[in-house]
Structure 1
Amino acid sequence: MGGSLTRDRIIVEADQLFYEQGFEHASFAQIAKALGISRGNFYYHFKTKDEILDAVISHRLVRTRSMLDGWELEGETPIDRVRSFINILIVNGAKIRRYGCPVGTLCAELTKLNHPARDHAKELFTLFRVWLRRQFEQLGLGDEADELAMHLLGFSQGVATLSSTFNDDKFVQNEVNRINEWLTSVTTRAEVQPEIL
C-alpha cells in the first residue's frame, strides 16, 4: 500500500473516530487497529495525535469547501442555497442525533481542552459564516448579512445539540420548518425594501 494512500486512510479513520468518540478519547491504537496497520506504519505518518488532528481539520476544511461549492452550483438562487445548509439537519439527521454536529462538537471539545488547534477548527464555522453571509448579501441584505449568517449558524447548532440530546425526529423536522419559515420572512423583508438610488 502506498504511503500517501495509507496516510489518507489514517486521516479518514481518525476523522470518524474523533467525531464518534471525541478527540481526547480516540487513540492511536484504535485508529491503527481499525485500519489493520502496525503502530510502526502509523508512526511513520504521524508522530503525535496533534499532527493527526491538524490533518483531520484540514481534511474537513477541504470537504466543507467542496460541499459549499456544490451547493453554489446546484442552487439557482441564494434562498435555494441557504436551504441546502438548513437541510443538513435532515440529511445528516441520524449521525447528528447520535454524535452531534461534527463541527460543533469538535470546536466545543477543543475549547474545553484549551487546545492550540481550536482556532484552526474554528475555520470550519468561518467557512459556513462567510458563505452564508454571501448568500444574504446576494439577497440584498448586506447591512445585516453577517448577523443573519451568525443567527442561522446559532439556530442550527441549537437544533443539532437538542437533536443529539433528545433523539427526536419530529422536533428536528419542526425546527427545520421554523428555520425555513424564518428564511422566507427574511427574504420577503428584503424584497419589499425600497431601492436606494
Structure 2
Amino acid sequence: MTDSERAVRPGKRERLVAAACELVYHQGVARTTLADIATAADVPVGNVYYYFKTKEDIIGAVVHAHAQRLTEAVDELERRHRAPKARLTALMHLLAERRDVIARYGCPYGTLCSELAKRAEGSDLLAAPLMRIPLDWAERQFRAMGRPDAHDLAVELVASYHGAATLSGTLGQPQIMAGQARRLERWIETLDPVGDAGSEPSH
C-alpha cells in the first residue's frame, strides 16, 4: 500500500460501519456477526470492541448511516428539482434505476426495518425513525402540492414502492420494481392540488 493510499483510506470506525451496512443488506442482521464485519473491514476482531461494545451498537450505527444517506438523497432531490411533483417523480426514477439490486437484495431500508421490527424490545426505536424519513418527506411534497390528504398519499406512495420492492426481491424480478415505479410516476402526474382524496394507485 502506498503512502497516498494510506492517506485516503477511511478510519477503522468508518470501515466497520461501511462493512456492516453492506453485510446487513446482503445477508441480514441475524446472519451478520462482529467477526464478519471485522474481516470485511480489514480490522482485527479485538479492535471492534474499541468502537462498538455490542452488536446492537454497530446495528445502531448502520441505521444512523442509512438515515444520513436517505436524508442526503432527499435533500439532493430538493436541490435539483423546484416543483414537488418533479421531486416525487425523480424519486421513482431512482427506484427504477436500482431495480436489479432491489430484485436481488430488496430495499436496503425496508428490509432492515422489517428485520428490526421483528426483534425483541426496543427494535422500533431503531426502525421507526428510518422509515419516517421518506414518509415525512413525501408528505411534505404532497402538502406543497396543495393536497389536503398529503399524509394518506405519502403512506400510499411509500407502501406501494416498498411492496413492489418486496415482490421484486422475493421473486427475483426487477421488472416488477421498474413497472411499479413507472405506474407511480403516472399516478403522481394525475394528482392536482384539490384532487379526489380517495385517489389511490391500484395494487
Same fold (TM over 0.5): yes
How many Å separate the matches in 1 of 2:178 and 2:71?
26
How many Å separate the matches in 2 of 1:35 and 1:130?
33
Matches within 5 A, 1:39-78: 39-78=45-84
Given the alignment, which residue of 160, 163, 174 partners 1:155? 160
Matches within 5 A, 1:1-197: 5-141=11-147, 143-187=148-192, 190=193
Greater helix content: 1
Is the 8 Å Cα contact of residues 32 and 38 (structure 1) preserved in structure 2? yes
Is the 8 Å Cα contact of residues 78 and 138 (structure 1) preserved in structure 2? yes
Q: Deviation of residue 71 (structure 1)? A: 0.4
How big is each residue's C-alpha offset from its partner over 1:148-197, in whole Å with a ceiling of 9 and x where there is no partner? 0000000001110111122223333322221111111113xx2679xxxx
Equivalent in the alignment of 2:201: none
Q: Give the TM-score normalised by the residue count of structure 1.
A: 0.89
How many Å separate the matches in 2 of 1:46 and 1:104?
24
Q: Deviation of residue 24 (structure 1)? A: 0.9
Q: Deviation of residue 121 (structure 1)? A: 2.0
How many Å separate the matches in 2 of 1:68 and 1:13?
24
> Secondary structure of the residue that 2:35 maps to in structure 1?
helix
How big is each residue's C-alpha offset from its partner over 1:5-39, in whole Å with a ceiling of 9 and x where there is no partner? 11111011101111111111101111111122211
How many Å separate the matches in 1 of 2:112 and 2:176?
24
How many Å separate the matches in 2 of 1:59 and 1:123?
12
How many Å separate the matches in 1 of 2:152 and 2:141?
12
Is the 8 Å Cα contact of residues 89 and 160 (structure 1) preserved in structure 2? no
How many Å separate the matches in 2 of 1:30 and 1:186?
47
Which amino acid in the other structure matches residue 147 of structure 1? D
Which amino acid in the other structure matches residue 54 of structure 2? T
How big is each residue's C-alpha offset from its partner over 1:50-72, in whole Å with a ceiling of 9 and x where there is no partner? 00011111111111111111000
The total of aligned residue pairs comes to: 189
How many percent of aligned residue pairs carry the same amino acid? 32
> Secondary structure of the residue that 2:82 maps to in structure 1?
coil
How big is each residue's C-alpha offset from its partner over 1:88-108, in whole Å with a ceiling of 9 and x where there is no partner? 321221221111111111111
Is the 8 Å Cα contact of residues 54 and 117 (structure 1) preserved in structure 2? no
How many Å separate the matches in 2 of 1:15 and 1:192?
40
Is the 8 Å Cα contact of residues 104 and 157 (structure 1) preserved in structure 2? yes
C-alpha RMSD over aligned residues? 1.9
Is the 8 Å Cα contact of residues 19 and 99 (structure 1) preserved in structure 2? yes
How many Å separate the matches in 2 of 1:14 and 1:80?
33
Q: Which stretches in structure 1 are left out of the alignment for 5+ residues?
A: none
Q: Deviation of residue 124 (structure 1)? A: 1.5
